[in-house]
């Protein structure tokens, strides 16, 4: 099982999708919003949830007995989104990418999965890729949208998968990754996009009263679980050749 640190966790869309593959287990969350933390505590009881990424360090995780193989997360998009002020990745919220990058450097995970709005391509993608390269990571990326997975809305997002730079004989060969043939790969996904069950998992039944604003905001900010599930399967498939030869 690959051990996951889920940053900017929200209500756990990344962890739900990755754990559905059967090959990932979340060992820690980092989420500052109280309502989202309560949702994580309900669905992942006993899993540590740190509050502020700015104070979270590798030393703290190690002292708590937490080892990490994968770091995932969607850092704040408010300054990047076309619906916002468009300040870019150096804006007051989206600059938290620098803390994401710091933890990558401190923890040196085998995989990094980053999510943000598609406008990142114009307002910060160069910074993200440069930071990853400086840390010694190669990256692949693709824009996916919720409608690709059967949802009734577009919700276009950029997904970046990064891994330590290695020689050409490593597992990280283009043939392992779906991004260059995404359309056909999505059509071959062996699981159903059950949108109602995913909504119920995060939001509970539609009783119309408790935490309705918090619920709506949490769902709007969450990644759809089907995307990290797709990425998780790609990572597991990419690892098979090296595992079989050892």
Backbone angles phi, psi at 237, to 5 degrees: -65, -35
Dihedral, 103, 108, 109, 110 alpha carbons, nearest 10: 150
Instruction: Tell me which residue range forms the domain holding 66.
Output: 2-236
CATH code, 8 = 3.40.50.150
Q: Does the pLDDT at position 171 exceed 70?
A: no
Is residue 129 within 8 A of residue 144, CB to CB? The reply is no
Q: Is the dihedral of CA 196, 51, 53, 211 positive or negative?
A: positive
Task: Take residue 220 and report the two structure tokens written for it.
Answer: 């709007």
Please check whether residue 246 lies inside any domain of the structure.
no
- What mean pLDDT is predicted for residues 153-159? 79
Please check whether residue 15 lies inside any domain of the structure.
yes
Domain count, the chain: 1
Task: Kindly state the percentage of the chain with pLDDT values over 90.
Answer: 53
Of 107-111, 163-167, 210-214, which one has max mean pLDDT? 107-111
Please check whether residue 22 lies inside any domain of the structure.
yes
Is residue 236 within 8 A of residue 23, CB to CB? The reply is yes
- The tokens 């690709």 sit on which residue? 148
- Which stretch of DSSP H or E encloses residue 216? helix 212-221
| 109 closest CA partner among 60, 66, 75 | 66
Please check whether residue 241 lies inside any domain of the structure.
no
Is residue 173 within 8 A of residue 234, CB to CB? The reply is no
Please check whether residue 199 lies inside any domain of the structure.
yes
| 115 closest CA partner among 239, 234, 13, 237 | 13
| pLDDT tens sequence across 18-58 | 999 999 999 999 999 999 999 999 999 999 999 999 999 99
Question: Pick the catalytic residue: 30, 49, 77, 143?
Answer: 77
- What mean pLDDT is predicted for residues 106-135? 94
Please check whether residue 245 lies inside any domain of the structure.
no
pLDDT of residue 79: 81
The answer to whether residue 30 is catalytic is no
pLDDT of residue 211: 52
Please check whether residue 69 lies inside any domain of the structure.
yes
Please check whether residue 243 lies inside any domain of the structure.
no
Q: Which residue has the higher pLDDT, 18 or 215?
A: 18
């Amino acid at each position: 099982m690959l051990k996951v640190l889920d940053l900017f966790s929200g209500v756990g869309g990344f962890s739900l999708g990755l754990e559905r593959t059967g090959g990932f287990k979340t060992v820690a969350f980092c989420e500052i919003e109280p309502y989202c933390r309560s949702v994580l505590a309900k669905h992942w009881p006993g899993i540590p949830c740190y509050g502020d990424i700015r104070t979270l360090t590798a030393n703290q995780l190690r002292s708590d007995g937490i080892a990490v193989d994968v770091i995932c997360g969607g850092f704040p998009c408010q300054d990047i989104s076309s619906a916002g002020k468009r300040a870019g990745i150096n804006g007051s919220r989206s600059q938290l990418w620098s803390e994401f990058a710091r933890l990558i450097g401190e923890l040196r995970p085998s995989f990094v999965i980053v999510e943000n709005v598609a406008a990142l391509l114009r307002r910060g993608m160069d910074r993200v890729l440069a930071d990853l390269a400086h840390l010694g990571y190669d990256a692949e990326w693709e824009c996916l949208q919720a409608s690709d997975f059967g949802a009734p809305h577009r919700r276009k997002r950029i997904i970046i998968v990064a891994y330590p730079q290695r020689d050409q004989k490593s597992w990280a060969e283009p043939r392992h990754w779906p991004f260059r043939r995404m359309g056909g790969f999505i059509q071959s996904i062996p699981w159903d996009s059950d949108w109602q069950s995913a909504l119920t998992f995060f939001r509970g039944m539609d009783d119309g009263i408790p935490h309705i604003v918090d619920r709506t905001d949490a769902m709007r900010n969450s990644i759809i679980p089907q995307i990290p599930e797709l990425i998780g399967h790609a990572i597991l498939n990419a690892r098979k050749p090296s595992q079989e030869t050892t």
